[in-house]
Amino acid sequence: MNERAIDDCLALLRQAEHVVVFTGAGVSAESGIPTFRDALTGLWALHDPMDLATPAAFERDPALVWGWYEWRRQQLQSKEPNPAHHAIAHLAGRVPRLTLVTQNVDNLHERAGSSQVIHLHGDLQSPRCSVCATPHVLGPDTDLPSTAQGSRIDPPACVRCNSPVRPGVVWFGESLPEQALQDAFESAGLCDLLLSVGTSGVVQPAALIPEVALQQGANVIHINPEPGQGQYSGVTRIQGKAGQVLPELFGRAFG
Ligand code: OAD
């Protein structure tokens, strides 16, 4: 790790009044959950998102889409939060104010102890009716079907209107949840330090969040093992894996 960048970050962390932590798929990579755009292993390297993550795909083949998200939900059941999720949860007790904004649809931040997580892209645990939006109550995780990747599973029917239930995630071409979007942009505009962790920064409007923080005069630190990732200029970069960098950084700042 670049010692000069680290020293800058330690000072910024100790001074910060309001920290926003903005996470992407990279924060869950060390838990064994694939990212989207890593060249060989990313979900979008293996699948065409237009077949799985659009309203049209669900209309065309609901069993394919529901089966794929059930496979991801089942996969999550055997995964655990990693040191990055735990470090972020602990940071909340060390700084005056912390807002956690994630693009991830897993629940690993919550399972590590973070609360009031802003999920910009929805989450795997909150399916709803595709027509009337009535929430669908999932059975206990132990009831999850044993699903292989690519299995087709018919979606359940809505208890209210009998239409197919859909995953509670944001698909390409859809709007982000209004309240989450508003809260995320508001905190980016008010914070004095934003940590952007494990995101390629290519999906809008989420990718604008670090830009907003920068424009409002906050310091932005970008943490990613790949030097070229993250389209942001004017940020401090720390090259490394979230599960190594965050515990070390927060441990040195407050330990
Ligand atoms: P991406 O897959 O686009 O980017 C993951 C980032 O994590 C890359 O920059 C990797 O270099 C980095 N990374 C990999 N391992 C890491 C580690 N151990 N520690 C830190 N970083 C690591 O994922 P996102 O940026 O989250 O949207 O993608 C944004 C959105 O695109 C997702 O929310 C999803 C996807 O389409 C929807 O599904 C709507």
Domains and CATH numbers, the chain: 1-33+81-123+175-255 (3.40.50.1220), 35-78+128-166 (3.30.1600.10)
Q: What is the pLDDT of residue 169?
A: 97
Q: What is the pLDDT of residue 253?
A: 96
C-alpha distances in Å from residue 94, one per residue of 75, 86, 89, 152, 212 = 32, 13, 10, 46, 24
Q: What is the pLDDT of residue 35?
A: 93
Count Cβ atoms within 10 A of the Cβ of residue 137 and give its class: 0-12 exposed, 13-18 middle, 19 or more buried.
exposed
Q: What is the pLDDT of residue 189?
A: 97
Mean pLDDT of 151-172: 95
* Percentage above 90 pLDDT, the chain: 79
Most informative mutation of 1, 23, 30, 37 for ligand 1 (most atoms within 8 A of CB): 37
Mean pLDDT of 82-91: 98
Cβ of 35 closer than 6 Å to ligand 1, yes or no, is yes
Q: What is the pLDDT of residues 189-247, one digit of tens each?
A: 999 999 999 999 999 999 999 999 999 999 999 999 998 766 667 789 999 999 999 99
Averaged pLDDT of the chain: 92
Residue with CA nearest ligand 1 atom 26: 24
d(CA 121, CA 181): 9
Q: What is the pLDDT of residue 47?
A: 83
Q: What is the pLDDT of residues 37-83, one digit of tens each?
A: 876 678 877 888 899 999 999 999 999 999 999 999 998 989 999 99
Facing residues of 166 across strands?
A: 128
